[in-house]
Amino acid sequence: MRKLSLSVIGMYLMMAHAFSQGPSVDSTGFVPRKLKLDEINFVTSYYDQTADKSAVMGGRTDYKGIADVTDFANGIDVTFIGLDKKQRKNTLAFGLGIDYHTAASQAYVDSNGTSRNNGTRTYPTLSWTRENDLKGTSFGIGAYYSAESNYYHSIGLNASIGKKTKNNGEFNLKVVSYFDQIKMIYPTEFIPVDSIKSSSTSDSIVYITSASGRTEAINYSNGQVVGKGPRVVVPSRPRDTYTASLSFTQIINQRMQGSVELDLVYQSGYLGLPFHRVFYDTGKDTIENLPSQRFKLPIGFRLNYFLGDNIILRTYYRFYADSWGLVSHTFNLEVPVKITPFFSISPFYRFYMQTAARYFAPYAVHKETDEYFTSNYALAAFNSNLFGAGLRLAPPRGVLMNNLRIMEIRYGHYTQTTNLNSNIISLNLVFK
């Protein structure tokens, strides 16, 4: 974390210095514009989920609400824009997000349900983009860091290039790499034997670590919590993800715009989670085991049509397939309607369907002879529906104050055929 923060500060100081050398006039009479604050974007959201199938409990359905989740997320993005001596637009953006979540199943990393059931995630971001309008080109780089409680850490790097065509089109290529470290936190029944210690009362005490990275001392004979255990060094396993995204956007006519998006994704390393249980058909439980490689191929199509001056039809379709045998289809429709020049409402609907990965099976179906196995319902076959609406207010003199230029509220309700339901509401404030 410290290393990334120093890199962020160093990059900012160098770029700020480059844009603060005072105005100088080139041979054409153009005066560069210093890098200055352009926009502050604040987003907050609340997510609430109810479900009865959790990967932590191996897909068992006899625990009502075992997969209930709440998440309170907050993020802020700050954007600086300036023009250099060659009339290129330079954009420097900082972001910081902090989430707080509770997950009912997380407590059952300890089989007695006494582990901590909440945690936080922090994720700063940094990006820089240079656009040359004269040549129609752009280039950007970025960095990302995420820490979820004490069990998951991720560093991401990306680079992008873009080129506009003479007939109102644009090609973009973005390459992203994520380097993750996953703490090997096991369910209590799989704690290594050498972690069991003897106490003065001759009871066996085991120090269990929950999914949030905390440790507690448990009486091994009766499962009672007898005190907080010491912090232990939990080993980690790596997971790397490499993505190449190619997109082409085309203005077809005055009313229609379309795009094609293709992603090539390769993952390697530890691709499961150590606290996801699987129950064999014999009743014995184990930890999910998945291949160490995964290839993903999503391809998406967007088509926007301006239906008069006040209505836009935004359509989207995505096909997805991967090397684990999972195939999905996504259909999305959003219809922004301008009620007044400064107020609009945007109802939306998304339908999603997927087949099961070849390594998935419900509770107590896997056989002990299976090579790979999981009961994580994210890899099961299901259909889902998401519908809701957004309200957007953007008067020229600001909302309540001059600097608050845009305020948007969105609500969505989600249903899934695995008996999962959720609601999300978000607020977006844009200051200029």
Q: What is the pLDDT of residues 107-138, one digit of tens each?
A: 888 777 877 788 899 999 999 999 999 999 99
Q: Count of alpha carbons within 13 Å of 341, Cβ hemisphere only?
A: 3
Which of 187-191, 310-314, 361-365, 424-428 has the least mean pLDDT?
Answer: 187-191
CA angle 409/412/414 to nearest 5° reads 165
Long-range contacts of 329-333 (CB under 8 A, 24+ apart): 329/353, 329/354, 330/300
Give the closest residue to 8 by CA, choosing from 77, 90, 95.
95
* Banded model confidence at residue 239, pLDDT cuts 50, 70, 90: very high
Q: Tokens representing 372?
A: 């790979």
Residues of the chain above pLDDT 70, percent:
83
Whether residue 347 has pLDDT greater than 50: yes
pLDDT for position 9: 34
pLDDT for position 16: 40
Which of 180-194, 259-273, 321-335 has the least mean pLDDT?
Answer: 180-194
Which residue ranges make up each domain of the chain?
2-182+237-431, 186-233
CB 389 within 8 A of CB 346: yes
Superfamily of domain 2-182+237-431: monomeric porin ompg (2.40.160.40)
Residues of the chain above pLDDT 90, percent:
70
Q: Tokens representing 430?
A: 């844009």
* Banded model confidence at residue 18, pLDDT cuts 50, 70, 90: very low
pLDDT for position 380: 98
Whether residue 59 has pLDDT greater than 80: yes
Long-range contacts of 425-429 (CB under 8 A, 24+ apart): 425/45, 425/46, 426/43, 426/44, 426/45, 426/46, 427/43, 427/44, 427/45, 428/41, 428/42, 428/43, 429/41, 429/42, 429/43, 429/404
